[in-house]
A and B are shown apart, each in its own frame.
Chain A
Amino acid sequence: MSTTATEPAEGPSKVDLGAQGGGTGEIPSFDVTLKVRRYLPETSEDAYWDEWTVTMYGTDRVLDALHKVKWDIDGTLSFRRSCAHGVCGSDAMRINGRNRLACKTLLKDLDLSKPILVEPIKGLPVEKDLIVDMDPFFQSYREIMPFLINKGPEPTKERLQSAEERERFDDTTKCILCAACTSSCPVFWTDGQYFGPAAIVNAHRFIFDSRDDAGDMRLEILNDKEGVWRCRTTFNCSEACPRGIQVTKAIAEVKQAVLAGSF
């Protein structure tokens, strides 16, 4: 196993899985050191690092290592996860310094010569270990009215839309509300009033939907000093998104729409 000092979190695999045919070959196993930022308000006011070494397999993800610790070693370790397959968006956490979904980060893609650092996402109050209070995040999401508003008469069948019209906002329909983008944003860390990338992405999804009539209202909400103009284009959100949404691009499009609408 080769070791490079600064390898990106999802760099190329460094574990030789070997040539396995027919699915009968043994899956290689390796030792992984997990270093987790813990916070247990019942016992201590301070957060601290806890470390475990566990034997994992080439097919395992960071979430599997966390499960192994919680189920076999220390049951007090707390984290959120629901579907465990990258759809529900519950297990966003900071893995080796970057926001990732634990269920989509394969151990073999990480540099295993060093401990894997796991921390809660930043900018939201930590409740316990890797669990943060998501209320401020969802409050911003609610404020941009993430639902279809159509003032026309109720149709008797589906609202038709051309493929091109659907394509216009396709990228921002992929959001799973995991908060990886919003909690990677340096502006959000210091200014909790900022709507944050996720809320703007979900506003974008309706602003550019041809069936929706409330685009102007949403643009007005986001044309605010805590709205799109707070964005400083650090691109942390685009790099953090587990669904590959081009978040900064979506925010830029909303900025342009605000300007186009106000003149």
Chain B
Amino acid sequence: MSTATSAQAPAKSGRGTLYRGNEGQWSWVIHRITGVAIFFFLLVHVLDTSLVRVSPEAYNAVLGTYKNPLMAVGEVGLVAAIVYHAFNGLRIILVDFWKGGTKHHKKMLWAVVALSVVTVGAFAIRHLMLALGGH
């Protein structure tokens, strides 16, 4: 058994460790990150959509710049964030207001993950075929 050698992450003067929470903590972290990401998307979305009031040409020009492979992949990421946030939001409502919610929260999280993977997978296949296929 090793003695006095810090094989593990924190050095002598290093920072404290992360709290080792389980599914509940990490589902919340992802929920918060996706929520903030969606907020920034909506901010940009409101701005670019309102351009149509300035001039339709400016609107078309801005939307034209979105039509490239990088944005197509970005859109898949956006949909993934929205889908997880939506399904997990329903799970949180059930945890709060359904009698068995707190007992089954982990199972519900895996259901959220499974539903999200299926939904985003199906969307990604169709979206990337349309966006990158050059139909």
Q: Which residues of A contact B (CB under 8 A)?
A: 9, 30-31, 33, 35, 37, 46-49, 51, 53, 94, 96-98, 112-115, 117, 119, 122, 184, 186, 232-236, 238-239, 246, 248-249, 252, 255-256, 259
Contact = CB atoms under 8 A, between A and B. Distances in A.
B13 A48 contact: yes
B125 to A, nearest CB: 33
B23 A235 contact: yes
A255 B102 contact: no
A114 B27 CA distance: 28
Contact of B16 (A37, A115, A234, A256): A37
B1 A31 contact: yes
Contacts of B27: 234
B25 A246 contact: no
Contacts of A239: 21-22, 24
B122 interface: no
13 contacts: A9-B20, A33-B4, A51-B4, A53-B4, A97-B20, A98-B20, A98-B21, A115-B6, A117-B8, A186-B25, A233-B28, A233-B96, A234-B27
Contact of B12 (A31, A48, A119): A48
B8 A96 contact: no
B19 A117 contact: no
Contacts of B1: 30-31, 33, 112-113
A233 B92 contact: yes
A208 to B, nearest CB: 15
B22 A235 contact: yes
A145 B8 CA distance: 44
B interface majority secondary structure: loop
Interface string B1-18: 111101110111110111
A255 B101 CA distance: 13
Q: Which of B8, B14, B102 has the most CB of A within 10 A?
A: B102
A122 B92 CA distance: 25
B127 interface: no
B95 A233 contact: yes
Contacts of A49: 6, 10-14
A97 B3 contact: no
Contacts of A238: 102
B7 A114 contact: yes
A184 B16 CA distance: 14
5 closest Cβ contacts across the A-B interface? Answer: A235-B24, A97-B20, A249-B102, A234-B24, A53-B3
Contact of B25 (A31, A35, A234, A252): A234
Contacts of B13: 46, 48-49
Contact of B6 (A9, A51, A96): A51
Contact of B102 (A46, A114, A236, A252): A252
A117 B105 CA distance: 29
A252 B96 contact: yes
B27 to A, nearest CB: 8
Given A31-B3, A186-B28, A235-B105, A122 B21 contact: no
Contacts of B135: none
Contact of A184 (B19, B95, B103): B19
